[in-house]
């Protein structure tokens, strides 16, 4: 089974139902919930998702969404080593550097799925859009 790190924009696409990205992001999320993929994200993503989602849905619904996510997505804790690695990286966006270092902390990570390619250009792990990933897995 593939180990896939999903960026926050993929989860926002799913739970804020952002068009036109919702459909393919949901397909990837469902593959994880059906245990056909091992999905991962960082612990920072959970707190940021709470902040962003409560702007578009209620607090109660936001908490239900986060419960769903932590049941279906492995959450990588952000520790001192990940922060140090991120600080030393070439990435301009520190938040994305954290996500890349978190993904790299799992030795068997196959790829990162995001729509934010510009901030992942120095990633040592393959990076795909949801569309690209789904086309590769057909």
Q: Model confidence at 70, in pLDDT bands (50, 70, 90)?
A: very high
The encoded tokens of residue 96 equal 């994305």
CATH number, position 127: 3.40.50.1010
Residue 138 has pLDDT above 80, yes or no: no
pLDDT of residue 93: 87
Q: To the nearest 5 percent, what fractions of the chain are helix, strand and coil?
A: 55, 15, 30
Q: Which residue has the tokens 């990837």?
A: 28
State the residue range of the domain holding 112: 2-136
pLDDT above 90: percentage of residues in the chain: 86
pLDDT of residue 63: 97
| 70 vs 51: CA distance, rounded Å | 16
**Stretch 19-37: mean pLDDT, rounded?**
96
Domain total for the chain? Answer: 1
Residue 124 has pLDDT above 80, yes or no: yes
Helix (H) / strand (E) element for 113: namely strand 111-113
The pairing of beta strand 37-42 with beta strand 111-113: unpaired
Helix (H) / strand (E) element for 28: namely helix 22-33
My answer on whether omega of the bond before 43 falls inside 30° of 0, hence cis, is no
- How does pLDDT run across 36-45, given as a tens digit for each residue? 999 999 999 9
DSSP 6-25: E-HHHHHHHHTT-TTTHHHH
Q: Model confidence at 52, in pLDDT bands (50, 70, 90)?
A: very high
Residue 119 has pLDDT above 90, yes or no: no
């Amino acid at each position: 089974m593939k180990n896939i790190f999903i960026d926050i924009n993929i989860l926002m696409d799913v739970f804020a139902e952002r068009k036109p990205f919702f459909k393919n992001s949901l397909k990837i999320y469902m593959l994880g919930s059906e245990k056909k993929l091992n999905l991962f994200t960082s612990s920072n993503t959970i707190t940021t998702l709470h902040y962003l989602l409560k702007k578009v849905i209620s607090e109660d619904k936001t908490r239900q969404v986060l419960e769903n996510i932590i049941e279906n997505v492995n959450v990588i804790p952000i520790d001192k080593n990940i922060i140090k690695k991120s600080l030393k990286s070439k990435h301009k966006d520190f938040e994305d550097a954290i996500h890349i270092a978190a993904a790299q902390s799992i030795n068997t990570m196959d790829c990162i799925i995001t729509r934010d390619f510009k901030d992942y250009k120095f990633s040592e792990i393959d990076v795909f859009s949801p569309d690209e990933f789904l086309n590769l897995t057909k």
